[in-house]
Amino acid sequence: MTPTCLTAVMLWPAKRWVAAIAVAIATYFLIGIPTAVIANPVFGRAIGVTSWSIPVLIATSVLSGMLFATYVRMDSVITDESSAKLGSVGGFLAYLAIGCPVCNKLALIALGSTGAIQYFAPVQPYLGAAGLLLLMYALRKRLVNESQCALPKPKKIKEQPQLDEINR
């Protein structure tokens, strides 16, 4: 049987699922509240939430939770740090994508309020798509490596008296 991403996920222990769910919920609120996709009294938006913002937020949350869960230690798992970097960039792009274009300080400084609406707002769906693609790629990379490159646990070497005598 050829290992796939689905088989790798199906073999996850409960602690990975708990981590995935916890991080997905945290990501949902950590991105949704400051971007005001989730209505709250602290943050507001000058421009309404777009129709694609909530699906991007949900997908980003789920993918981030699953990607984080791949870093929860299991036996015989090889770590790969490049996936973490790709996932971080993907999450950041999703954050920029679902935020209000006029509320983004970087866009305002670089483009002004008219430029942010005219130039940055049309690019936001592409940022969201790029962010999701990076998260999916990083997750796939982690899952494929996990299922294909699993190594057996190293066995402890018992002390051998003959070697001690030779070394003297």
Whole-prediction pTM? 0.75
DSSP string over 103-131: T-HHHHHHHHHHHIIIIIHHHHHHHHHHH
The tens digit of pLDDT for each residue in 35-49 reads 888 988 888 888 888
The residue with greater pLDDT, 119 or 147, is 119
Proportion of the chain above pLDDT 90, given as a percent: 24
SS3 content of the chain, % helix, strand, coil (to 5): 65, 0, 35
Q: How far apart are CA 105 and CA 90, in angstroms?
A: 20
Angle at CA 156, nearest 5°, toward 151 and 161?
145
CB neighbourhood size of 121 (10 A): 17
Q: Is the Cβ–Cβ distance between 94 and 128 less than 8 Å?
A: yes
Residue type (1 letter), 11: L
The tens digit of pLDDT for each residue in 61-101 reads 999 999 999 888 776 545 556 666 777 788 888 887 887 77
